[in-house]
Amino acid sequence: MFFNKSIMGKKFHPFFLMNTAVVFILALSFFFPLHAFADEDVLRKSIIDWNLRRHKKSMADGTYRGEEGILRLSPEAGNSFGIKVVLNKDYLDAIELFKEAESHFKAAIEAMSTQKREKLQGEHSINVVQEALQYNKVLLAAHEKIMNYHSKLTSKLDERLNNAVCLELLEKMLEESLDAAGFNLRDALALFYNRCKGLELDSEFLNTENISFINYVFNEVTGNASGNYLNRFDLDLMYNNGKISDSRLRFAEKILGSKHFTFLKSALEAHRDSEYSIDPLLFIALMKKESWFNPFAVSGVGAVGLTQIMPDTAKNLGMKNIFLSSSFRQARSFLKREKELRNMALNLIPRIKEENSNEYGKKAREFMQKSIETGHKRVKMFSKYRQELLIDGTDDRLNPQKAIEHGFRYFLKMIQIQKGDISLALASYNAGPHSVNRYKGIPPYSETVSFRNIVLRYYKDYLRDLNK
């Protein structure tokens, strides 16, 4: 290691200790030829950069929960890795207080949302105020405890602040995560993040908590590392590799059925000369997630058919007969207003103080009740739209041939926009390419992350069954 050992063990501010890691990585490129370290360092430096930025942000916005060092390890995670960490009364008290604050926040939402009959006039609004005041009081106490904990940390007491130890751990965890994820870079980064935070590990590593980290590091690596280095990873890329094997086509027909497979085969043939291709098993996995192969499936937001195409997307794809009614337009309007009212109610909770409690407590409950009422109207209107659409029966999206033809073309367009990146194409299919551009990767929406995970799980299951 290239640290000056004379400074190790002395008391320095945690920010200084973390920033020395960046200096260390930059120093490597000074003392050694760039071609020897550039690719490896892009991955490690981007992980450290992200952690330093997020640590600074968490200290400023109140989301700090004791994560420290260039890996932002939670105390529990650090302890599980066998490194020395500080787990004192301040930290343990803070964590319990944060949990208590969260329970008060949930209780305030329950008081805003409940439809139970009041025993006393204004009872629910009073409960909102009481829970909100307790939430704000306990949260403040938790922050004081956690900041007191942070102020006492040194590299001598806590090895999460010892960059030499953490760099060695970083190497080990990266190797293990890549191996566990089959060198899929996104999944490996997700597993790496989850282990640093002591999160539960499962077969689908990506979640809304780690997706911003994954997007950042993935973009830094793919944007700055050499092609030879990137070849070692599975980057979720799909190119046109020529003719699809007969065995794959037979297996696809077995899953989909001969009638629907005919439509898919036609779509494959129509786009066989495209720069990017779609594995028929991937597209079948998408259909399975979207509609479970039900051509008459209608979602709660108006997506229709085997490939669950929304009305505006259908029009842009050139589908002629799209059933729209006033019930659909009303449902979309209710959906937007429902979200707005709920956010207005939730945003009032941190603002409730003794001096404004009466006014804000009533407003918070009023907004939430209106949101719930609007939600009932939204469900009713979407249900009405579904009934009207199915009775009419002329919507092109209900036609399996057109649903597959246009759904395939739309997914291929997303593949082309995302330069062959399957994960980003799936995210674009679900949330729109504008959302992918906005977040520079998979958007942090639970539905979109889950959509990507499930489609790829189905796809991998199909590939495994095919190989058998």
pLDDT surpasses 60 at 37: no
List alpha helices for 81-207, DSSP H: 89-113, 123-151, 163-180, 185-196
SS3 42: helix
pLDDT at 38: 65
CA distance 202 to 215: 20
pLDDT above 70 coverage of the chain, percent: 91
pLDDT at 15: 42
Chain centroid, CA 410 distance in Å: 23
pLDDT at 3: 29
In order of 57, 325, 351, the CA distances from 143 in angstroms are 15, 51, 17
- Are 147 and 86 a contacting pair, CB within 8 Å? no
CA distance 252 to 442: 28
Assigned token pair, 287: 């259909």
pLDDT surpasses 80 at 6: no
Assigned token pair, 357: 């409690």
Give 9 or 442, the one with higher predicted confidence: 442
pLDDT at 87: 95
Question: Between helices 422-431 and 400-417, what is the axis angle to 10°?
Answer: 120
421, β-bridge pairs: 237
Chain centroid, CA 135 distance in Å: 27
Rounded mean pLDDT, 278-301: 97
pLDDT above 90 coverage of the chain, percent: 87
Sign of CA dihedral 67, 435, 410, 386: positive
Confidence of residue 242 (pLDDT cuts 50, 70, 90): confident
Chain centroid, CA 137 distance in Å: 31
Confidence of residue 198 (pLDDT cuts 50, 70, 90): confident
CA distance 332 to 327: 9
CATH number assigned to the domain covering 236-323+393-468:
1.10.530.10
- SS3 string of 212-253? HHHHHHHHHHHHHCCHHHHCCCECCECCCCCCCCHHHHHHHH
Judge residue 273's burial from the number of C-beta atoms within 10 Å of its C-beta, 0-12 exposed, 13-18 middle, 19 or more buried: exposed
Amino acid at 21: A
Return residue ranges of the chain for CATH 1.10.530.10.
236-323+393-468
| Of 11-25, 29-43, 115-129, 327-341, minimum mean pLDDT range | 11-25
pLDDT surpasses 80 at 18: no
Q: Which of 329, 332, 325, 251 is closest to 284 using CA atoms?
A: 251
Whether the model pTM is above 0.75: yes
CA distance 97 to 257: 56
pLDDT surpasses 60 at 17: no
What is the longest distance spanned by two Cα atoms in the chain? 80
